[in-house]
Amino acid sequence: MTPPPAQLTPTQRVEWFNALRPVETTVETSYTCGQGRGCFRTEDTWIRLANGTAVHVPEDLRPLLPPNSETERHIAARDRASRNTTLFGLTGAVALLGGFMYVSSATDLDTGTTNTTDQNIGYGLIAGGLIAAIAAWHYQSVTFAETRRAFGAYADDLATTFRICTTGLQVVACGDGAPGSAEP
């Protein structure tokens, strides 16, 4: 997105707002199931702006947002949740793999004896891996939710950027002297 020019007339502010306001929100959810891998949910939430632009990631809206806006806060929360999804997902995968390796190598096939320490370490790693996988699943859901919240807050934050007020169904530039356009 291109940031707006610094100095806009009240009419230009309304025009920019009307071109960049969201007119459609789409949430596409899909499930992918594999042999022995379980099912994975993915969600693609995106908005279409009045000028026809499709925005799939809320970060693309940053040039249009006021500092410390609600949309920015949701983008930051989305970024944290996305990093946590990756962190816990990778940690869980490594722990599960290590746990299975420990458990499988705990028994000496030649003698039939089991090293219970290695076996218990393996079970502990498997349990830790499962907990990390649950955390990754949770943070993935948070990522999806924060994306929806960021897009949901965008229209109000865009109105703040362009100092737009509404009076009934009319969109006007705040403070331009028109009835109902006093600064909030």
Predicted confidence band at 179 (pLDDT cuts at 50, 70, 90)? very low
Q: Is residue 2 part of a domain?
A: no
pLDDT tens column, 95-140? 999 999 999 888 887 888 888 998 999 999 999 999 999 999 999 9
* Structural domain boundaries, residue 50: 10-169
Q: Is residue 180 part of a domain?
A: no
Which residues partner with 47 through β-bridges?
A: 25, 55
Structural domains in the chain (count): 1
The dihedral through the CA atoms of 69, 71, 74, 76 has a sign that is negative
pLDDT tens column, 137-164? 999 999 999 999 999 999 999 999 999 9
Q: Is residue 159 part of a domain?
A: yes
Q: Is residue 4 part of a domain?
A: no
Q: Is residue 59 part of a domain?
A: yes
Q: Is residue 121 part of a domain?
A: yes
Q: Is residue 177 part of a domain?
A: no
**Phi, psi dihedral angles at 121 (to 5 degrees):** -60, -45
The span from the CA of 176 to the CA of 181, in Å, is: 6
Q: Is residue 85 part of a domain?
A: yes
